[in-house]
Homo-oligomer: A and B are copies of this chain.
Amino acid sequence: MAGIDEVARLAGVSTATVSRALSGRGYVSDATRVKVAQAAQDLDYVVSSNASSLASGRTRNVGVVVPSLNHWFFASVIEGAESALLRQGYDLTLYNLTGGGEERKSVFDHFLLRQRVDAVIAIGLELTEAEVSSLHAMGKPLIGVGGAIAGVFSLTMDDVAVARLATEHLLSLGHTRIAHIGGGKEFDLDFHLPSNRRIGYEGALRDVGIEPDPGLFRPADFTLPGGYEAAKQLLGNPHNRPTAIVASSDEMAIGSVLAARDLGLHVPHDVSIVGIDDHQLSGFFGLTTVAQFPRRQGEQAVEALMEYLEPGKDAPASAGVPLPYELIVRSSTARPPQ
């Protein structure tokens, strides 16, 4: 727990110089920079982040707000953000809003405003105007991932195009009775992904002259059991059984695969199923899917933030680049029966 003054003494310079040498701002000759670095190392010196933050106004810490941790997408984005932040010497403090209203209010009213963070990343969350403006008023950059926030720079996939791509894959195989398992209305509140994906699905159908059949749409909750239920209904219908399903998430798609099996239907011989995500289990289930890359999204969010936070640093300038997605064809899709 050596202090900056001990380092200064050992290096034979002033504390001001030590600060400059170690932080990299301001002029320091190469010679002293080396001397200081050596002294710091010898003493196992590590800056006190509190003292540093108090004096400089920068905390080198970013807050990450998520609706839940136990979810592949959120966890992956956080992992990506964490490792990018670590590389930049930043800490990540996590605010999980699973608890609901009270918790959320307390996070915004007390925690994020304590000068603890330089910026915040909101994942899969639609913030209220009040929340956004209170952060804004504090001068804290805010960036959204996986869900557009009004008036805030957000990394968000082109959900319409993604669902369209999945649907086009099935159309190109010759399917015409294609069902869709999407999110229910309750998921549309927080980000419009469900409707956007439905729009993409319907758009692809209409483009080839097929009018979407409302009977071939089922809402579900993005979980595997939810997808299972929905697919059971779709595939068990005696009159209008689809030959293919586009599910809005891989977990729902996997649920659909299991539902098909339980009905004695063979995937992809009797029914083709495509998901969206490229979840870690999708390979195992042979699921054809449109991959998104959440780890990368976390990294990209951090890169974008760094441009605000460290102007003139090695700016990766990745902001504004549209998020990539990619069709991955496995064994859950094929030409329709006969």
Contact = CB atoms under 8 A, between A and B. Distances in A.
A309 interface: no
A50 interface: yes
Interface residues of A, number: 49
A48 B115 contact: yes
Interface string A76-100: 1011001100100101111110110
Interface string A239-251: 0000000000000
B69 A78 contact: yes
Contact of A49 (B78, B86, B114): B114
Nearest to A251: B281
Contacts of A72: 70
Interface string A56-88: 000101000000111010011011001100100
Nearest to A83: B99
Contacts of A91: 93, 111, 116
A111 B78 CA distance: 18
B94 A78 contact: yes
B48 A54 contact: yes
A79 B73 CA distance: 16
A216 B86 CA distance: 44
Interface string A293-317: 0000000000000000000000000
Contacts of A284: 224-225, 228
Which of A49, A72, A113, A138 is the most central at the interface, judged by chain B CB atoms within 10 Å of its CB? A49
A49 B76 CA distance: 29
Contacts of A225: 281, 284
A1 B109 CA distance: 12
A151 to B, nearest CB: 22
Interface in A262-287: 280-281, 284
Contacts of A76: 69-70
A33 to B, nearest CB: 18
A107 interface: yes
Given A82-B94, A93-B91, A114 B46 contact: yes
B70 A86 contact: no
A15 to B, nearest CB: 16
A131 interface: no
A132 interface: no
Nearest to A64: B94
A32 interface: no
A96 B83 contact: yes
Contacts of A96: 78-79, 82-83
Contacts of A103: 83, 86
Q: Which 7 residue pairs spanning A and B have beta carbons closest together? A: A50-B53, A49-B114, A69-B75, A50-B54, A70-B75, A93-B93, A225-B284
Interface of A: 1, 46-51, 53-54, 59, 61, 68-70, 72, 75-76, 78-79, 82-83, 86, 89, 91-96, 98-99, 103, 106-107, 109-111, 113-116, 138, 224-225, 228, 261, 280-281, 284
